[in-house]
Each structure stands twice: as C-alpha cells, then as structure tokens.
Amino acid sequence: MHNRQLETFLKVVELGSFSKASQALYITPSAVIQQMNSLEADLQVKLLTRTKRGVCVTAAGEYLCQEGPAFIEASRAIRRQLHWLGQGNPQEICVGTALLSKCRLFYELWMRYNTGEEKPQVKMKELLSEKAYEEVDIIESLLFDSYWQKKMEFLELCTVPIACAVPRGHELASRRFLSPCDLRGRTLVTIEPGMSEVLDRLREEALAGGVHVVDVDWYHLSVFSMCVVKGFLLQTPACWHDIHPDLVTIPCEWKYALPYGLLYQKDASQVVCDFLDFVRELCGRERFRVY
C-alpha cells in the first residue's frame, strides 16, 4: 500500500517547492522535507535536487512522477475494497459529515431512492481527519479546489450564490441585500487565493472596489467568531446561513456562485453508483436548492 510520502512527493514536483507543497497539503515545510528524506531513504535513490529556486527532479524522480499516480489509485482501490470486505456489509453506504458539509439534500434524495428491493444501510461518519475523507463513500459539499476534493469525483446538484455574513449588531444587518458600494471601505474576510477561481475573481473585484481584504486559509469556526468579535464582513456561501447564530447572511448583487453537490470516490462501489445514477436522473427533471 502507498503511504502519504508519495502523494507529498507528487505535490512537491507539481508546485516546484517544499513551501508551496506544504501550503497545499496543510502541513509544515519541515514535515514535507522529512517525508521526502524518508521516501528517498526507503527507495534508496535520489528523487529531488534542492536548489535556491526550488527543486529539480532527477531521472528517477521523473519515472516516479509517471508511475506514481496509477500506483496511488490502485492502492486506494485495494484499500477501499478491503475496507468494504472487513465491514461484512458491502451494501452499506458511508456518508461523511462536518460543520460545513451538512446533509442538506442527501436525506431527501435517499428517502426517494427506491432500489426495488431492500435499501442499503447508511452509515454517517464525522470528517475529523484527512484520512476520514478516504473512508467515506459520499460527501455533500460545495466544490472547492482543495487537495482532498481533487481526489474525488463530483456530481453537481445546484449552484449556491456567494453572500456576505455580518454580525447581528452590524449596521448592515437589517439590509435585504448588499451592493459592492456597501462594502467599500469595510473589511471583508475571504479565502486566500488558489482555493476557488470564483472566489479569486470576487476577491480581486473587492480589492478593486476599495474593500480591505483579510485572507484566511479556510472557513474554520474561529473565522466566523472572529468576524462577530471584530465586526468584519465574511464572504460566505448562502447555504451556510445557519453556521453561526450571531452572523446574518445577506444576498449580494454580484453574480458569483459555487457548485454544490455530492463528492464520491473514484472507485465507488456498485451500490454507490446505483444511487448516484438515480440522483442524476432526478437532476435531469428537477431543480434543487439549499439556501
């Protein structure tokens, strides 16, 4: 079975440096370097050459870049098959949940799903670590350019407009909608560039419109609380209106939106594929909304 050192190696090669890879993988640069040293020691071959401008790939490293992705996918497929067999119930569907990945549509879809026989069992698993994302079959979520989401497939159900969340005591809290002019001169908390092309464009538009932008690495609960305490505005998808009780989510005039749907494993079981086929058929004749 592959370990995370191989995935880290591929990310280092893709981005060209240890520091950029550490940011993409949400680990420290020293952890990246340690993993690369361990991988080279284990394989007994030089994969990377360190330079002042970043890293260069050796001939052995080039070969590993070509063969590594297929090896990873094969290893993941074997691991998941072992996981299903170990459960003793291959008819089970495991759904991942988290604060920002609630099941807003899944329950309705599942209740309407009719297999013509006894339904598979549904198991809920809280997404507390990166490893948990590999152990679930489906995650209901917005689509971002995050590392773990890129490892999964995505079935779009709808789009969710980007809104602004403001503290309940804020002077804008009573507004029915906000315009770009309402944001001029204010502080808007956004996700740092690289997580979403849509959010990147919105961020640039805000900067050009005289908005003071504060970048954060992700929508942690502490970020929501910070906006409440400091009176900042938060760029947030409209479906997250219920995340923090002291924030009011207000629609905005811009036309920015993010895809929303079901993330699922590339090597999904037949049980999962059958359910997703049912959902696709529904999407062909119905419209869904989560805000």
Instruction: Choose among 183, 221, 177: nearest CA to 203.
Output: 183
Contact criterion met (CB below 8 Å) for 29 and 18: yes
pLDDT given at position 80: 63
Contact criterion met (CB below 8 Å) for 164 and 250: yes
pLDDT given at position 72: 79
Percent residues over pLDDT 90 in the chain: 58
pLDDT given at position 83: 62
Domains and CATH numbers, the chain: 4-86 (1.10.10.10), 89-156+260-283 (3.40.190.10), 158-258 (3.40.190.10)
Beta strands in 144-186 (DSSP E): 152-167
Give residue-wise pLDDT tens across range 229-264: 999 999 999 999 999 999 999 999 999 999 999 999
What kind and span of H or E run contains 30? helix 29-43
Task: Give the type of residue at 82.
Answer: L
pLDDT given at position 201: 94
pLDDT given at position 87: 56
Confidence tier at 224 by pLDDT (50, 70, 90) = very high
Confidence tier at 20 by pLDDT (50, 70, 90) = confident
Residue 232: which residues within 8 A CB-CB, separation 6 or more? Answer: 186, 187, 188, 189, 214, 226
Contact criterion met (CB below 8 Å) for 218 and 100: no
Mean pLDDT (whole number) for 152-167: 96
pLDDT exceeds cutoff 80 at 143: yes
Give residue-wise pLDDT tens across range 24-62: 887 888 888 888 898 998 899 999 998 877 888 999 999
pTM: 0.71
Break the chain down into helix, strand, coil percent, rounded to 5. 40, 25, 35
pLDDT exceeds cutoff 90 at 105: yes
pLDDT exceeds cutoff 70 at 64: yes
Give residue-wise pLDDT tens across range 167-195: 999 999 999 999 999 999 999 999 999 88
pLDDT exceeds cutoff 70 at 158: yes
Mean pLDDT (whole number) for 213-226: 93
